[in-house]
């Protein structure tokens, strides 16, 4: 084997450096020079990092904008250590070069990367449902968080509805949509050998599921209805209002937000007819308070 001379070694190093350049904002990357971008997100405690390749020029704009924000980010200004992650951009340029940007200890990553997370390219590479053919699904399971009810079925109507409704949900899904605040039940899709292929949520207010709630006797049991509720207690400051009228009870069931925040103006406690069933607690913020409910507490 031929030994490398010092001149050959230097040449090899120079060639390597022309192919991969690592920097944080020191080398300008122009959108028209980008062929693709690889995003890597992860942390020291994560066994697997998320790696996604982007080729949509619209997303290239997001990368360049995010880069400017992250160049100004100072980890020491964010003292909370939890959920800090490392972020890496690799710009693959049309001339064959790769320019990398690396940012350590970013918190919260989601806020910086939300435009990328909401892109179709990111969803298609990270959400299993987009890689799944409907014909592969042989069984579906629904599990209610509200009343601890669940059932599994191989009914083609339920399978088709679950697949199509979840697909539309993820296509329209906003990463910052506050989905957990309106969660009714989870959906799991299974293959022929019982392996879980994909999953997703059923949310209050998602009208795609209305036909099943109105027609399928098991599906209806996934959520509370007005007939299942003894009363709803609304609290605003020192004021307590008990609601039993079915029309208002049903509207509250469909619109209240789980939990509460500093922005909550009305708290909600839902008391089932069944004394052994758990009470549900939630709230309304000012901007999400339906007019009819606002009139009750006014």
215-231 residue pLDDT tens = 999 999 998 999 999 99
What does the pLDDT read at residue 177? 64
Per-residue pLDDT tens for 181-205? 888 899 999 999 999 999 999 998 8
Is the pLDDT reported for residue 101 higher than 60?
A: yes
Angstrom CA distances, 112 to 28, 69, 81, 161, 195, stand at 20, 8, 17, 34, 35
Q: Are strands 20-22 and 98-106 parallel, antiparallel or unpaired?
A: parallel
Domain boundary assignment for the chain: 17-126, 131-220, 226-297
Model pLDDT, residue 175: 78
Give the pLDDT of residue 18: 39
Looking at the predicted structure, is the pLDDT value of residue 261 above 90?
no
Give the angle subtended at the CA of 269 by the CAs of 201 and 262, to the nearest 5°.
80
For the stretch 19-50, pLDDT in tens is: 444 444 457 899 999 999 999 998 766 667 89
For the stretch 230-248, pLDDT in tens is 999 999 999 999 999 999 9
Task: Please indicate, yes or no, whether the overall pTM of this predicted structure exceeds 0.95.
Answer: no
* H-type alpha helices, the chain: 6-19, 57-71, 109-117, 120-126, 156-172, 210-215, 217-220, 246-255, 291-297
DSSP reduced 3-state for 241:
strand
């Amino acid at each position: 084997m031929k030994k490398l001379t010092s001149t050959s070694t230097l040449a090899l190093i120079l060639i390597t450096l022309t192919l991969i350049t690592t920097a944080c904002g020191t080398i300008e990357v122009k959108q028209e020079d980008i062929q693709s971008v690889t995003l890597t997100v992860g942390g020291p405690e994560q066994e697997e990092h998320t790696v996604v390749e982007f080729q949509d020029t619209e997303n290239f704009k997001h990368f360049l904008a995010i880069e400017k924000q992250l160049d100004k980010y100072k980890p020491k200004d964010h003292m909370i250590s939890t959920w800090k992650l490392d972020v890496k951009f690799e710009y693959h340029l049309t001339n064959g070069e790769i320019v990398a940007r690396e940012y350590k200890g970013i918190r919260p990553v989601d806020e910086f990367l939300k435009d990328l997370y909401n892109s179709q390219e990111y969803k298609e590479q990270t959400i299993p449902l987009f890689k799944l053919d409907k014909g592969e699904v042989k069984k579906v399971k629904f599990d209610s968080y509200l009343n601890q009810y669940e059932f599994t079925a191989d009914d083609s109507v339920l399978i088709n509805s679950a697949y199509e409704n979840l697909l539309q949900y993820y296509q329209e899904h906003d990463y910052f949509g506050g989905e957990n605040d309106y969660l009714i039940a989870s959906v799991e899709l299974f293959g022929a050998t019982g392996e879980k292929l994909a999953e997703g949520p059923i949310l209050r207010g998602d009208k795609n599921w209305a036909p099943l709630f109105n027609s399928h006797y098991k599906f209806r049991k996934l959520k509370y209805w007005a007939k299942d509720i003894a009363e709803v207690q609304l609290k605003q400051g020192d004021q307590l209002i008990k609601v039993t009228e079915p029309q208002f009870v049903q509207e509250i069931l469909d619109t209240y937000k789980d939990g509460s925040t500093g922005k909550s103006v009305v708290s909600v406690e839902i008391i089932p007819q069944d004394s052994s069933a758990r009470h549900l607690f939630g709230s309304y913020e000012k901007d999400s308070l339906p007019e009819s409910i606002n009139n009750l507490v006014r």
